[in-house]
Amino acid sequence: MRYMLVTYVTKPGGQIDEVIELSKKIRQKDQQLCNVILDYTDKKVIKCIVAGNNVDKDWDKLDGYYRGIYPAVLERLEKEAAIYKKIKA
């Protein structure tokens, strides 16, 4: 895996759910539907739009935020992204 895709879904009543997905590639539908796309191979923010607004695309801030919520997932993703980078090189 290389990318973390985050989508925010607003439910009736105003509750917002955060849905994450790990992916090897970014599909066109991901570019259109996902709110946040993080590339863990190149350590960069590809997309960050929350509530219709572009949000600060600082890698360290976003990584730190999601690492606080999903530490085990991101640890695994970083290991797989490092392997992907070696294969790609």
Among 84, 4, 87, 89, CA closest to 44:
4
Write down the pLDDT at residue 89: 59
Please state the domain extents for the chain.
3-88
Q: Is the pLDDT of residue 87 over 80?
A: no
Rounded distance, CA 13 to CA 76, Å? 34
Write down the pLDDT at residue 86: 72
Write down the pLDDT at residue 51: 77
More confident residue, 84 or 60: 60
Taking the model in full, what pTM does it have? 0.89
Q: What is the pLDDT of residues 1-55, one digit of tens each?
A: 899 999 999 899 989 999 999 999 999 999 999 999 999 999 999 999 987 787 8
Write down the pLDDT at residue 88: 66
Kindly calculate the radius of gyration of the chain based on its CA atoms and give it in whole angstroms: 13
